[in-house]
Structure 1
């Protein structure tokens, strides 16, 4: 009779169960178990218990992590540690740098706008428009620029430094008309000794109009004698020219001969050279080193004004915050502008000064200084009609004399 397993899985004869199942010598089990046999399942060890050595049937399965999700379109896969791939660049740092640059740019633009408006709050407005009949509005814009030789505001040390003396009263060393429009920009000097009719005072020197009645009488005198309507007014004090030149770091002047004028405190050599405010002012004021006197002086004045305009509007002015601040804060101390003129109009005037195409003296017939009635009226008419592009070369000359006379 075949031994049957006991309830605890051990045969009645004491033979171990696996001997009973597979034979005492470890033979192979039968292909199919008998119906009355108990099937023994392999024991799976718990995760916290080690598997019996050498028993493949109870070895714990190897854990394999789930696969990573595919990267979104357009993005390189994230490298695995030790894979040798370069980690992707962080976009957050680039965006932060762009934001910083944009903030700095906005702050700079605010500075460029705020400084002129701040300086403009301290600028004096000048009532320059005369009452009564005036020329009708004309195309283009005509600016009247007046250089006052008033010593007001200059200390005794500054008067000595600039060689201005102690003359009382207020006169005009410089009178210029700048016309801008569809044609070339034209800058025309009016010699201060020009003999014209001053309303209420008869024929006298044109700078007397300023001494008698200030800006209003000077504007009325110019409009009455030229027929040109004055749209804007700019006045520069005697020390203003030197102050602005120093604010922009100096200008270049090109005297055609050596100049020594003790009255203007000037002593310079021939040729192009850098000039500070003191030298530039003396160069613009001197009239005793040439046989054409005031005519030569207004030529130097136009040269200095144009050089200042070039420096003021140079890119370095807008890049250098110190220079920009110094320049705009020099304006209230040295400049006065006509009522109604704002910082934008002043900027347009400054830009026009950097691109003067025609520079001349009002046409004169002699050094006395009488205006040439035919030639001057021809030039005035072209300005009134905004046709500066039609001005012939012989009409706009550096001295105001005909081209054949000046050479």
Structure 2
């Protein structure tokens, strides 16, 4: 299946759908089988992981790390396979951590202009890893950054985003800053608002309206994702088979993931994650120390080396709950 004329998508919707399936798959029967078949319809990434030699070891606590990537294609991909894309940067990057004790889910956003070492390429913005070497190099770059293993990887385009939002009947958020989107001129008032699919795209993509640009965009993306989580994991959604299936139908054509991230994997996690709800999912942005200029004149985001070391240790020791509690703003 070729992916054509699609826009990049905020990636945590993948996890949202996975968790929905986890929460209801334990019920068994025809409905669970229908969900499994639909979920497994996504395209597979061929050879998405770096050579085993030199990779971090698997967690000894049973934790899982899922790397979510948005392909910055800005339009038509054509017949190129997503795992072979060259020249297309990942517009968003998140690490979803499922702890060994299954008490919550922790999502770490990495700002796309973060200046990091990219194996074999020297230092560059982290979103260049996808351009240089597809998902495989993106995985290797993130594993180098946090010194912890990535267990699964997914890439998504944005077209399914609009359909998912509308399938849920809109997503309600509490908007902290009133602004008018640069593209489309949609105005978003401060306070509680309900976003349709079209409005949601404008909301999560805007950066020019804010003094701190990408920083506020990252916060808005997380705010929206939290709204999606709350709606997907609400009683109204979980008890409505038609809405669940419609939501999966809306996103699965735009998802590509490693072959191991399948319905069997999801079903295996079900007993321990069935109780997860929106309030149990936490978001944070990888700590930064401000912006700067690279040696070749690019505008970049500098990561906070001390706190990034602490974050890496938290990933390695499966103690992200403690790091989030200490660094949540």
Q: Specify the TM-score bucket, using the shorter chain as the normaliser.
A: 0.7 to 0.9
- Following TM superposition, by how much is the alpha carbon of 1:384 offset from its aligned partner in structure 2, in angstroms? 1.3
| Cα distance in 2 between the residues matched to 1:329 and 1:392 | 33
Number of matched pairs: 278
Contact kept, 8 Å, 2:89 with 2:130, in 1: the verdict is yes
Aligned to 1:180: 98
TM-score by length of 2: 0.76
Secondary structure of residue in 2 paired with 1:305: helix
- Following TM superposition, by how much is the alpha carbon of 1:269 offset from its aligned partner in structure 2, in angstroms? 1.1
Equivalent positions of 1:384-399 (< 5 A) are: 384-391=316-323, 393-397=325-329
TM-score by length of 1: 0.62
Secondary structure of residue in 1 paired with 2:303: coil
Contact kept, 8 Å, 1:243 with 1:334, in 2: the verdict is no
| Cα distance in 2 between the residues matched to 1:392 and 1:303 | 16
Q: CA 1:200/1:263 → structure 2, altered by over 3 Å: closer, same or farther?
A: farther
Within the candidate set 74, 77, 89, 1:171 is matched to 89
- Following TM superposition, by how much is the alpha carbon of 1:353 offset from its aligned partner in structure 2, in angstroms? 7.5
Aligned to 1:339: 259
| Cα distance in 2 between the residues matched to 1:356 and 1:191 | 23
Q: Which runs of 5+ in 1 are unaligned?
A: 1-107, 156-167, 398-407
Aligned to 1:359: 283
Aligned to 2:210: 290
Aligned to 1:133: 54
Within the candidate set 134, 139, 144, 2:67 is matched to 144
CA RMSD for the aligned pairs?
2.7
Q: Which runs of 5+ in 2 are unaligned?
A: 1-26, 79-85, 293-300
| Cα distance in 2 between the residues matched to 1:142 and 1:118 | 24
Contact kept, 8 Å, 1:246 with 1:276, in 2: the verdict is yes
Which has the bigger relative contact order, CA under 8 A and spacing at least 6?
2
1:161-181 CA-partner distances (Å, limit 9, x unpaired): xxxxxxx95322211112121
Within the candidate set 303, 307, 311, 1:375 is matched to 307
Equivalent positions of 1:46-65 (< 5 A) are: none
Structure having the larger proportion of residues in strand:
2
Aligned to 2:33: 114
Secondary structure of residue in 2 paired with 1:272: strand
Secondary structure of residue in 1 paired with 2:315: helix
